[in-house]
C-alpha cells in the first residue's frame, strides 16, 4: 500500500510521540484532537507534554505535521490511527466512550483504501465487536475497502532507554489482508513489527503486559508490608535478590499504582472474563493490595508523627512529587494525589513540591489550589513531615535529608537508617 498522509487521532502521551515519529520518517502527518488548545499549540510548534520538547514539535511541523479539530478532514489520510483514552467508569467498568465517539466521528469521512488502526488499550474483542460493525454499516468490506488492525501502544513516558521507533510493535488484523497492510504501515517507522494471528490476540497481549506488572507490583507491595512488620528493609532485599542472574525480575513497591495503564487495564480483562464465566481472582487480589497501599502509607505517617507526639491533624506536610512516576508530568491516577486528599481529610495542612507540575492541574476527581513550593533549607524546616511520594531525579535528596524534621520515604530513596527517616 502507498501511505503518504497519516492521521493520528488523539494527540496525548501516545498520539503525539507517534505523530512525531511518522513526521521524522518523512510522512505528512495530520493530527486530530477535540481540544482546541492542543491543536493551537501543535500548529505553533509548541509542546504541552514536558518530556517532549518544543524543538521536537517545531521540527515535526516543518516536516509536514499539522493538527486540526475538524474530523471531516479524515478523508485526507491514507491511515487513521486512533490513540484515545480508555478509562474506567464510576463502577470500575470499561468506558469505551472515547473510542466509540471517535469512531462515529470518523465514519462519515472514511473512504476506500484507508487503514484504520486502534491503539487504545481495551478488552479482547473490541476491534471485532465495536469498530468492525460500525465500519461495515457504511457498506465497506473489511480487508478489501478498509483495512482494520489493532496495534497496542507501548509508550513509557520518561524512559530514556527506548523510543517509539525502538519499541517492538505488536499488530493483529481482522483479515490477513488487514494484517499485511498494518505491517506495511508500521514497518516503515518501527524497527521491529510483531504480527499476531488476530486483533483479539493483540488486545490480550497488551493486557497481559500490564497485568504482569500489576500482579508483580502487588506481590512486592505485600512483601513490603511483611518486611516492615519484621523490621527488614524490602529495598535491601530486592537489591540482593536482583543479583541472581536468572529466574528473578525486580519490581519495586510504592505508595500505590498510577498512570493510564497499570491501575486500569486489568479491569478491562476482569470485566470481559465474566462474559465467559471466569472469575479472575489472582488479578483482582493484586488490585486490592495495590489499592490499599495509600491507606497503609497514611498509617505509617500517623505512626511516625505519633512517636513525636503529634497527630496528622494540624501537621504541616510537604508531599514530594505528585506525578504518577518519576521524571514525567503525567498526573493520571497518581497515588500521590490520593495521599494528599487523604491527609487533607484528616486535617493536615498540605503542600507539594514537583518541578514537573508547577501548578496543580484541573482534574476530574481532585481539586487543590496549590503551586509547587521551592525546596530550601528554610522551607523544608517549616514542615513537620516530608513525604517522598514520587522520586524525581531533579530533587536534591541530600538537602531534604539534612533539613527535614521527619521524612517518610515510600520509594526507597534513602538506603541508610536514620532516626528521622521512616520507610513506608
Query: Of the listed 83, 178, 261, 353, which one is catalytic?
Result: 261
Name the 3-class secondary structure at 131: helix
What is the rounded distance in angstroms from the CA atom of residue 385 to the CA atom of residue 420?
A: 9
Residue environment code for 223-253, b if the CB has 16+ CB neighbours within 10 A, otherwise e: bbeebbeeeeebbeebeeeeeeeeeeeebeb
- Enter the C-alpha cell of residue 176: 490477513
DSSP 8-state class, residue 142: B
Residue 261 bears catalytic tag: yes
Q: What is the 3-state secondary structure (H, E, C) of 382-413?
A: CCCEEEECCCCCCCCHHHHHHHCCCEEECCCC
Q: How would you list the strands of the sheet with 115-118, edge to edge?
A: 65-68, 28-32, 5-9, 79-82, 115-118, 147-150, 169-173, 193-196
Within 97-183, strands assigned E span: 115-118, 147-150, 169-173
What phi and psi, each to the nearest 5 degrees, are found at residue 401? Answer: -65, -40
Phi, psi angle pair for 304, to nearest 5° = -65, -40
* Angle (deg, nearest 10), helices 234-241 and 199-230: 120
| Rounded Cα distance, 322 and 337, in Å | 6
Residue bearing cell 510537604: 318
Distance CA 272, CA 268 (A): 6
Distances (CA, A) of 281 to 158, 270, 273, 288, 409: 32, 9, 11, 10, 31
At residue 255, what are phi and psi to the nearest 5 degrees? Answer: -85, 5
Q: Nearest-CA neighbor of 38 among 66, 4, 77?
A: 66
Distance CA 411, CA 252 (A): 8
Q: Which three cell numbers stand for residue 328?
A: 514525567
| Residues taking part in catalysis | 261
Amino acid at each position: 500500500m502507498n501511505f503518504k498522509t497519516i492521521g493520528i487521532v488523539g494527540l496525548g502521551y501516545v498520539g503525539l510521540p507517534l505523530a512525531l515519529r511518522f513526521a521524522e520518517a518523512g510522512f505528512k502527518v495530520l493530527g486530530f484532537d477535540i481540544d482546541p488548545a492542543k491543536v493551537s499549540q501543535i500548529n505553533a510548534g509548541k509542546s504541552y507534554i514536558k518530556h517532549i520538547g518544543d524543538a521536537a514539535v517545531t521540527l515535526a511541523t516543518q516536516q509536514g505535521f499539522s493538527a486540526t479539530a475538524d474530523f471531516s478532514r479524515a478523508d485526507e489520510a491514507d491511515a487513521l490511527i486512533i490513540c484515545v483514552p480508555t478509562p474506567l467508569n464510576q463502577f470500575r467498568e470499561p468506558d469505551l466512550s472515547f473510542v466509540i465517539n471517535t469512531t462515529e466521528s470518523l465514519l462519515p469521512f472514511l473512504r476506500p483504501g484507508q487503514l484504520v488502526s486502534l491503539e487504545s488499550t481495551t478488552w479482547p474483542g473490541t476491534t471485532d465487536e465495536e469498530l468492525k460493525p460500525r465500519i461495515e454499516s457504511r457498506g465497506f468490506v473489511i480487508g478489501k475497502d478498509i483495512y482494520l488492525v489493532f496495534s497496542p501502544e507501548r509508550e513509557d513516558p520518561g524512559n530514556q532507554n527506548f523510543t517509539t521507533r525502538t519499541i517492538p510493535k505488536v499488530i493483529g488484523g481482522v483479515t490477513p489482508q488487514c494484517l499485511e497492510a498494518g505491517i506495511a504501515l508500521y514497518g516503515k517507522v518501527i524497527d521491529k513489527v510483531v504480527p499476531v494471528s488476530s486483533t483479539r490476540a493483540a488486545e490480550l497481549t497488551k493486557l497481559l503486559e500490564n497485568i504482569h506488572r500489576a500482579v508483580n507490583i502487588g506481590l512486592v507491595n505485600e512483601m513490603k508490608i511483611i518486611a516492615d512488620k519484621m523490621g527488614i528493609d524490602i529495598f535491601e532485599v530486592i537489591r540482593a535478590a536482583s543479583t541472581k542472574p536468572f529466574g528473578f525480575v525486580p519490581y519495586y513497591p510504592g505508595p500505590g499504582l498510577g498512570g493510564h495503564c497499570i491501575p486500569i487495564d486489568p479491569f478491562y480483562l476482569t470485566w470481559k472474563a465474566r462474559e465467559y464465566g471466569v472469575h479472575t481472582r489472582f488479578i483482582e487480589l493484586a488490585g486490592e493490595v495495590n489499592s490499599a497501599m495509600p491507606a497503609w502509607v497514611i498509617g505509617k505517617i500517623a505512626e511516625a508523627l505519633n512517636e513525636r507526639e503529634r497527630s496528622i491533624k494540624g501537621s504541616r506536610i510537604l508531599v514530594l512529587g505528585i506525578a504518577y512516576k518519576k521524571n514525567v508530568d503525567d498526573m493520571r491516577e497518581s497515588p500521590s494525589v490520593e495521599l494528599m486528599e487523604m491527609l487533607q481529610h484528616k486535617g493536615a495542612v498540605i503542600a507539594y513540591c514537583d518541578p514537573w507540575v508547577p501548578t496543580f492541574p484541573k482534574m476530574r476527581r481532585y481539586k487543590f489550589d496549590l503551586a509547587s513550593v521551592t525546596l530550601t533549607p528554610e522551607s523544608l524546616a517549616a514542615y513537620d513531615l516530608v513525604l517522598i511520594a514520587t522520586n524525581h531525579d531533579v530533587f536534591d535528596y541530600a538537602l531534604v535529608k539534612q533539613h527535614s524534621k521527619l521524612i517518610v520515604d515510600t520509594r526507597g530513596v534513602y538506603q541508610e537508617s536514620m532516626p528521622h527517616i521512616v520507610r513506608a
